[in-house]
């Protein structure tokens, strides 16, 4: 299909555009990424979290120093308490492991997992019971992680764990989000209004 619609003049700048996007993306701050998420992108994340049965979900982006992941979007009611205000060190925690290994994970009994960093749960006064996390890439570069959590609610039955097929749902969402954002930034880079 690409051969049928490829235009030589545009194809010649394709690699250059991808290199530009990758370099540009790594220079953006987490706050820039938060601002770049339009309603379409935000709705996509919300729908995927709902589809997999999560309590809430987040998009984490690596900071400029590549030392921490910062949440730039969260679907939960307390997002304002930690979005762009918390930094998960890349040296610890399941989210950091997913970013480093570029491999998705479902972790049940998160509070008991030795690789889980409880800092954010303690700060928010919540207990994560299950975690789903997939890598998020942009223009071929590892950029961050998309996650969903199941939170324990006092007085309610435990939600359980994410189903294995939830990884597929979240990987598709990550790919769709990547395409939406790459298209948006290519248009910006070419001076085409939205």
Q: What is the pLDDT of residues 35-48, one digit of tens each?
A: 889 999 999 999 99
Give the mean pLDDT of 174-192. 85
Secondary structure in 3-state letters for 69-114: EEEEEECCCCHHHCCCCCCEECCCCHHHHHHHHCCCEEEECHHHCC
pLDDT band at 163 (very low <50, low <70, confident <90, very high): very high
Taking each helix axis from N to C end, the angle separating 166-189 and 39-52, rounded to the nearest 10 degrees, works out to: 170
> Could you report how far apart the first and last alpha carbons of the chain are, in Å?
26
> pLDDT by residue (tens digit) across 100-151?
999 999 998 887 777 889 889 889 888 899 999 999 998 888 999 999 999 9
Question: All domains of the chain, ordered by start, with CATH?
Answer: 2-189 (3.30.450.40)
pLDDT at 3: 59
Strand order from edge to edge, sheet including 141-151: 88-89, 68-74, 56-62, 141-151, 128-138, 105-108
Least confident range of 16-20, 86-90, 148-152, 180-184: 16-20
Q: What is the DSSP string of the chain?
A: -HHHH--HHHHHHHHHHHHHHHHHHHHS-HHHHHHH--HHHHHHHHHHHHHHT-SEEEEEEE-TTSSEEEEEEE-STTGGGTTTT--EETTSSHHHHHHHHT--EEEESGGG-TT---HHHHHHT--EEEEEEEEEEETTEEEEEEEEEEE--TTS-------TTHHHHHHHHHHHHHHHHHHHHHHHHTT---
């Amino acid at each position: 299909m690409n051969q049928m619609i490829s235009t030589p003049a545009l194809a010649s700048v394709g690699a250059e555009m991808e290199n530009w996007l990758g370099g540009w993306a790594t220079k953006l701050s987490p706050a820039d990424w938060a601002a770049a998420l339009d309603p379409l992108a935000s709705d996509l994340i919300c729908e995927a979290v709902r589809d997999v049965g999560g309590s809430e979900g987040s998009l984490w982006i690596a900071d400029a120093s590549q030392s921490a992941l910062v949440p730039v979007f969260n679907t939960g009611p307390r997002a304002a308490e930690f979005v762009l205000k918390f930094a998960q060190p890349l040296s610890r925690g399941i989210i950091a492991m997913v970013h480093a290994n570029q491999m998705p994970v479902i972790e049940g009994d998160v509070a008991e997992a030795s690789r889980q960093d409880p800092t954010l749960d303690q700060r928010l006064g919540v207990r994560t019971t299950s975690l789903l996390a997939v890598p998020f890439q942009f223009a071929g570069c590892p950029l961050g992680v998309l996650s969903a959590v199941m939170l324990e609610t006092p007085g309610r039955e435990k939600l359980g764990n994410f189903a294995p097929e939830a990884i597929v749902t979240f990987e598709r969402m990550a790919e769709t989000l990547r395409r939406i954002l790459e298209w948006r930034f290519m248009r910006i880079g070419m001076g085409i209004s939205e």
